[in-house]
A and B are shown apart, each in its own frame.
Chain A
Amino acid sequence: MALDQSFVGRTYPPTAPYEVGREKIREFAEAVGETNPAYTDPEAAKAFGHPDVIAPPTFVFSITFRAAGQVVQDPQLGLDYSRVVHGDQKFAYTRPVRAGDRLTVTSTIEGIKSLAGNDILDIRGEVHDEAGEHVVTAWTKLVARAAEEA
């Protein structure tokens, strides 16, 4: 069943702060095979002009996707999450995420479309630091594939 268009524009309350740790960044960098010292060595990060180690560009997705859970699990919206696949992902950075950041995410439903029985949901996550400064915006497109006819 097509999702309710009236949810377009709905913004969910900001998440509790996520504190970014150096060792979590190291774990993520090692998991993707990264060897850039800016991720693990504070001195190397400083040589690039950063105050501490920075996270790989896609690291923030774990935080924004958890925040998007507010949307995809909203019982009023009624998305069938078992049929959801990740369609598109985009980030726009004001600055890189770095160790010591306490990040909150505010999720907004930007679009709902129904195409050939598939529900397509666009969610924007605005990520801010503890000082309220913008860090990165994440756009996530989720596609709930049409259920087979019974």
Chain B
Amino acid sequence: MTANIAYDDVEVGTELPARTFPVTRATLVRYAGASGDFNPIHWNEKFAKEVGLPDVIAHGMFTMAEAIRVVTDWTGDPGAVVEYGVRFTKPVVVPNDDQGALIEVSGKVAAKLDDNTVRVDLTAMSGGQKVLGMSRAVVRLA
């Protein structure tokens, strides 16, 4: 497990490069197939509205998968992630148009821990709302 970032080069408050991830209906269909989660709230507008949602929403696990990319793209080795947890606070609503939705993710080093690990706190926004809460990863640096 070799990260490209050295523990000694990082301070509390170091910001990771922010990323924006687009998500369309096609993205959701593809993710449903790859993950095996075919819950119709992620692809069927009629069903989603019947259960009280504003529209089709992204899988929470899709959003979680995108958010950690800010960490893995920073360290290089995705295997350097030691812990990762999130709370699903708001759904990412994905309209049926050419744009879909955007998930904007930023992260910063919140603590330097033992054994060359750091805790990164992530912020994920979509449509002006925070979609993940308590989004934290512990990652081992070089």
Contacts and interface: CB of A to CB of B under 8 A. Distances in A.
B2 A86 contact: no
Contacts of A96: 78-79, 81
A27 B34 contact: yes
Interface string A57-68: 110011001100
B40 to A, nearest CB: 11
Interface stretch (A34-42, A114-122, A124-132): A34-42
Interface stretch (A8-16, A87-95, A102-110): A87-95
A91 to B, nearest CB: 5
A32 B31 contact: yes
A50 B134 CA distance: 30
Contacts of A147: none
Interface of A: 24, 27-28, 30-34, 36, 38-39, 47-50, 54, 56-58, 61-62, 65-66, 85-93, 95-96, 139
B82 A92 contact: yes
Contacts, number: 103
Contacts of B69: 32-34
A49 B1 contact: yes
> Which of A27, A31, A36, A85 is the most central at the interface, judged by chain B CB atoms within 10 Å of its CB?
A31
8 contacts: A31-B27, A47-B2, A48-B77, A50-B79, A57-B78, A57-B84, A61-B61, A88-B88
A54 to B, nearest CB: 5
Given A49-B79, A57-B78, A91-B85, 18 more contacts: A27-B34, A32-B66, A33-B21, A33-B66, A34-B69, A36-B76, A38-B77, A38-B78, A48-B2, A49-B1, A54-B78, A61-B35, A62-B35, A86-B61, A89-B86, A92-B82, A93-B82, A96-B78
A56 B33 CA distance: 16
Chain A's interface: helix, strand, loop or mixed, by majority?
Answer: mixed
Contacts of B114: none
B34 A58 contact: no
Interface string B44-72: 00000000000000001110111011001
